Structures are given as C-alpha cells and as structure tokens.
Amino acid sequence: MTQPFRLALIAHDQKKADMVAFARTYEKLLAPCEIVATGTTGGLIQEACPSLTIRRVKSGPLGGDQQIGALIAEGKIDGLIFFVDPMSPMPHDVDVKALMRLGSVYDIPMALNRATAEVLVQKRGLLRDDAADNTITAASAT
C-alpha cells in the first residue's frame, strides 16, 4: 500500500483567498492527500472544502511556519505550496526564509505562487494518479 502524499499549505494574509480558490479548484485531487496547514489558512480551506482533512498547526507568526519546517526536516512532508505575498513586509520573515531553505535542503517540490502550484498539480509533477487504486500518492523516487 502506498503512502498518501503529505502536502503543506500556507498562505500569507493577502494570498489566503487565492489559496482557498486553489483548494476549491483542485479539491478532488487534494482529497486523498494528508494536508498540513498553518492555522488560519487551514481553517479557511476546511470551511470552503469540507471533503479535505486538514491538520492545522499554529498560525505562521506564532510558530506554524517553524512547525511545518520541522515536519519537512523529519521527512513528514512531501511537498509545499506556500502562496507568498512579496509586497507586504512580514514580521516573521526570518521564519519564512528558513522554511523555504528547508524545502530546498530536503529537496521537496515547492510552489510559491498559484501559477506554479497549478503546474505541479495539473502536470502531476507534485501528485501522480495511481491507476491501480485510483488514489493520489507520493511520486516515486527515481
């Protein structure tokens, strides 16, 4: 049995509506995933997409970014979609940079905007459809 794809979803305040719209659009593809999201983002997605099961961690500025970073370091996250707002200063900017660094260090797929997230999902670069049992699973390492 294959393990479900473990996906982290995060969005800055000005990008939360975009993340919710993204999740609604791809709800069927995301449903089999194990989703971890920062507090507010996860709550908004859960409300808009009741079929998704979302494990919520703390809000980003309260340590949620660091919690997801720790999950990446422990090998418990397979991919990250983080809708970043490059136009707003973030008081926890250091945490955001550390999270992106961990994604690079542990070589997980990362999308930092909707366009990239859509390419990953649509082209199955982030997720693949397993024809045998019709579930979304982590892509096999080559």
Known catalytic residues? Answer: 65
Helix (H) or strand (E) holding 23: helix 16-25
What is the secondary structure of 64-107 as a DSSP string? HHHHHHHHHHTT--SEEEEE--TTS--TTHHHHHHHHHHHHHTT
**Four-CA torsion 19, 25, 26, 32, nearest 10 degrees:** 90
**For residue 44, what are the contacts with CB-CB under 8 A and spacing of at least 6?**
16, 19, 20
Cβ atoms 72, 80 nearer than 8 A: yes
Reported residue count of the chain is 142
